[in-house]
Structure formats: C-alpha cells, structure tokens
Amino acid sequence: MTTNSDIHTAFRIIDANANRCQEGLRVVEDFARFSLNDKHLATHYKGLRHETASLLASFPPLSLAGARHTPGDVGTQIDAPDEYLRPSALGVAIASQKRAEQAMRCIEEYTKTVAPAAAPRVEQLRYRLYTLGKAVEVTATSRERLGQKRLYAIIGGAASLQAFEQRARQLVEAQIDLIQLRDKHLGDRHMVERARCLREITFGTNTSFIMNDRPDIAAIVKADGVHVGQEELSVADAREILGPDRLIGVSTHSIEQARQAVLDGADYIGCGPTFHSSTKQFSEFPGLGFLQAVTEEISLPAFAIGGINLDNLQAVLATGFRRVALSGSITSASDPRTTIAALKDQLRDFTVSPPAAPHQERW
C-alpha cells in the first residue's frame, strides 16, 4: 500500500531527476548544435526536451516543486573523483547523455508508483533518448574517422583478377581515399578473390576498402567496412556481422532516408543519384536539391554520388558537399592518376568544416 510518505518520496525523486534529465538533454542538444552544427540531431533533442517538460507538467500542480528540498538533499555533498574532469566537448556530451538516460529511467520507475498511466510514455521517451545518444556519438566519431577523406572510387571486379589488381593498384598509388568493390555479376568465389586482392593492396595505406552489400565478405577479408542500400541489410544487421569498429555506409535518395540513416547509426551516407550515370540506371534523380537539403541539416559524413565528374564537380561543391563518390569517370579514365589529381585539386580549394550554426531564433 502506497503511503503519503511514499508519494512524497516518489515526487521528490522524480523532481530531482526531471531537473537532471532536462539539464542533460540541453547539454547534448547544444553539443549537436554548436559543435556538430547538426540541425537534424539538435532538433530531435529539443523536441525530446519539450516532450519531457510536457509530461512533467501533467503531474498535479506543485507535486514536484512542493516535494523539493535542496538544502536537505544529502546528495549535494557527494562528488565523484572525476566529476569535474572532461577530456573534450564530446566527453561532456557523452557524460550528459548518460546522466539524462539514468534520470529518465528513475522518472519512469517512480512514476509507476504515483502515475502508472504515464510510465509507458516515459519509457518511449527513454528509448528515443538511447537512439539519439548513439547517433550523436557515431556522428562525432565518424567525422573524426573519415576526416579529410573526400574522394571515393567505386569499382567492379573487372574481366580478370589481373586486370582488377592493376586498376586497384593504380587507384591506391594515386592516393584515392576510399575504394568500394561493387559487382552484381561475379559469383561469390570470384568476389571473395577480388576482395582479398583489394584488401592486400590497400592494407597499410591511407586508402580504406569498403565492400558493397556483403558484410559477410567484408568480415571474411577484414575490409574496413561495408556499404548497403535501402533494400539490403539494415545498419543493425550489418553491425551484428562486422562488429562496432567497421564503417557502415548507407545509400540514401531522399532527405527522409538520410535522416533515418543517421538515427540508425550509419557511419556515413551516400546521397544521390545527383546526375545521370553511365554505370547505374535510376528512374528518379533527387539531384542537387537533395544535396543542399542534406548540407543544411545533417553533419554525418556524406558523399554525393551519381554521374559526378570534373565537369560538374563545382556544381556539387556549391551545395556545400565536400565529399564525392565516383565510378565511371575514374574507371573509364585512360589515366586514373591524372583524373584523381585533378579531382583532388578541386576539392582542395574547399574545407570539410560544416556550415555555421543558424541563429538561435531559427531553432
């Protein structure tokens, strides 16, 4: 049987954790906004913060404030040894995220004693918070991991292993940043053969090797990651096969898909098709407008893809994109080294830093 003392205690705990949770949410929101310059994630945190406030406002008037007794809270005198140590802005955000998660769980559990009908709503807010926390951390670490990697080549398996090896070596020697092996016609044995060859060529270099569609083959040959489309395995399934340390990229064709890829925990996204391509056929082209939309709200590393070449690269860069993936314009070039150097010259004139955060009143 719940006593008046139990009710008072529950509201006191809920009140303390409500403050802790909303403070933590605001700290991470500001990290997403001012450090990542990520409108998508900052907006999600702002929405979650307001929904939490709305939920708390549904409790009886003065039930929370009336239970508050800060001078008598023994916890105000308890400090952890590392409480005032944070290694970086990301470290601040992660600590605040964990604090908000723990506080949300406390709110959920004690709400069951005073307002059971509200507990499922708190539970759903908590799950959303977990998703957002993962997205923020992955976005921050992926930006660091991919750093100055701006040029991404997509190659097929070629007519023979020898021809494939020759082309792959040309690209690595030209210092391409990433190579993706994508071939829809090779059988599994030949695909693994090509993948092992590419892993050997790229190992110990600054060129990352990404396997298209096949996390199983990526795991076998120890590729740096895998790239999946909208119809292939999910990010979670690919992560189950490859583990937490490999890169997982996702193809996106709309701003909605790009937003979802961020929440799913992708390390980077491919955005397109931008122009007509000689290597892949599409019925619709989201084009430069899609790239502009991604630039305006998403800071996760994003590569523009689809028919991009030296002639139209400036139009892509004008949208704010600083990373591109190419296939035909590189693989069909008589001298890939010269083509890659020319592409890098154009990319070098721009910085990878994201745009400045919008003014506060716009958020």
How far apart CA 314 and CA 310 sit, in angstroms, is 8
What whole-number distance in Å separates Cα of residue 157 and Cα of residue 182? 7
pLDDT given at position 331: 85
List the pLDDT tens digit at each of the 363 positions of the chain. 567 778 888 888 898 999 999 999 999 999 999 999 999 999 999 999 999 999 988 887 656 555 555 555 545 555 556 656 667 999 999 999 999 999 999 999 999 999 999 999 999 999 999 999 999 999 999 999 999 999 999 999 999 999 999 999 999 999 999 999 999 999 999 999 999 999 999 999 999 999 999 999 999 999 999 999 999 999 999 999 999 999 999 999 999 999 999 999 999 999 999 998 766 666 678 999 999 999 999 999 999 999 999 999 999 999 999 999 999 899 888 899 999 999 999 998 765 454 444 444 444
**Angle at CA 190, nearest 5°, toward 186 and 193?**
140
What pLDDT, on a 0 to 100 scale, did the predictor assign at position 279?
A: 62
Residue 103 and residue 165 share a domain: no
Residues 207 and 336 in one domain: yes
Structural domain containing residue 207: 148-362
114, 143, 172 - which closes a domain: 143
Based on the fold, state whether residues 26 and 41 are members of the same structural domain: yes
Rg (CA), the chain: 25
26 and 93 belong to one structural domain: yes
- Cα separation, 335 vs 139, in Å, equals 35
User: Is residue 9 classed as helix, strand or coil in its secondary structure?
Assistant: helix
Identify which of 132, 125, 129, 135 has the alpha carbon closest to the alpha carbon of residue 51: 125
Confidence at residue 307, expressed as pLDDT on a 0 to 100 scale = 95
> Quick one: 87 and 218 in the same domain?
no
Listed residues 143, 174, 190: the one ending a domain:
143
- Range list of β-strands (E), 184-224: 208-212
d(CA 219, CA 333): 31
Same domain, 248 and 102: no
Claim to verify: residue 269 and residue 170 sit in the same structural domain: yes
Cα separation of 65 and 23, whole Å? 16
- How many whole angstroms separate alpha carbon 166 and alpha carbon 201? 10
Please check whether residue 154 is in contact with residue 270, taking contact to mean a CB–CB distance below 8 angstroms: no
Residue owning tokens 């705990």: 13
Q: CB–CB of 295/306 below 8 Å?
A: no
Tell me the two tokens of residue 113: 């004693």
Orientation angle between helical segments 287-297 and 39-57, nearest 10 degrees: 50
- pLDDT value of position 238: 98
Could you give the CA distance from residue 193 to residue 202 in angstroms, rounded to a whole number? 14
Instruction: Pick the closest to residue 15 from 46, 50, 51, 52 (CA basis).
Output: 52
Is the same domain home to 123 and 195? no
175: left (phi over 0), alpha (psi -120 to 50) or beta: left
- Claim to verify: residue 102 and residue 237 sit in the same structural domain: no
Domain count of the fold of the chain: 2
CATH code for the domain in which residue 55 is found:
1.20.1260
Same structural domain, 175 and 116: no
Q: Which of 143, 174, 196 is the last residue of a domain?
A: 143
Looking at residue 359, its pLDDT comes to 41
234 with 265, same domain?
yes
CATH of residue 279: 3.20.20.70
What per-residue confidence (pLDDT) applies to 363? 44
Q: In which residue are the tokens 């056929």 written?
A: 281
Contact 254, 236 (CB under 8 A): no
Tokens (6 digits) for 300: 């996760």
Pair (227, 127) in one structural domain: no
pLDDT in the model for residue 59: 82
